[in-house]
Amino acid sequence: MSGPHEAGARIAARPLEARAFAPFGEVIEAAGPPDRIINGGLCGRWHDLARLDFGPGGRAGVSVFRAEPRALPLKLDLLERHPLGSQACIPMTAHPFLVVVAPDEGGAPGRPQAFVTAPGQGVNYRRGVWHAVLTPLHPPGLFAVIDRIAGADDANLEEFRPRTPWIILPPGGSD
């Protein structure tokens, strides 16, 4: 049975793929042929790949995040969501990182899904989507994040801690 009170589940990560991620947001990547060829043929543009949403009273900002690398299997004891805006995470290296998302079930996350990116893949979490914090698998863990900028008292973060951590396994599912 899935639901907010299921905890300690073991979840195998899968390679990140746009269709599987679609309920949660967009994969930001150069997939298929470019939408436009620009700069005299020297550059392809994959155009406008993410549904950005900065909510009422917010504006777009670019920040840099540097996160501690983690290893799989991973004990996942925290999910969060941003009720007022989307959040796009662009890796500034070619290293894969872990993406964990979950459907909402009555105000708490249901069973998470885990993905490992390929080089050249970023993600955009749609507004309100439960997700794990940035989880690089290699140093330096450097990302550009495009998200809502608003006042200091902006209530744009909700956190959820399961009673027992989920265990995220590497692709293939072995410990």
Q: Which positions lie near its own copies, rule CB under 8 A?
A: 28-30, 34, 38-40, 42-50, 52, 54, 59-68, 78, 88, 90-94, 119-120, 122, 124, 133-134, 140-142, 144-146, 149
In the complex, minimum distance from the CB of residue 82 to its own copies, in angstroms, rounded to a whole number: 12
Rounded CA separation 110/4 (Å): 5
Closer residue to its own copies in complex, CB, 119/173: 119
In the complex, minimum distance from the CB of residue 73 to its own copies, in angstroms, rounded to a whole number: 17
In the complex, minimum distance from the CB of residue 91 to its own copies, in angstroms, rounded to a whole number: 6
Closer residue to its own copies in complex, CB, 12/69: 69
Picking from 160, 161, 96, the residue whose alpha carbon sits closest to that of residue 128 is: 160
Peptide bond into 96 cis (omega under 30): no
Rounded CA separation 102/158 (Å): 14
Coil, strand, or helix at residue 174?
A: coil
Closer residue to its own copies in complex, CB, 19/47: 47
In the complex, minimum distance from the CB of residue 76 to its own copies, in angstroms, rounded to a whole number: 12
Coil, strand, or helix at residue 143?
A: strand
Which tokens hold the place of 70? 């983690």
Closer residue to its own copies in complex, CB, 155/173: 155
- DSSP state at residue 172: T
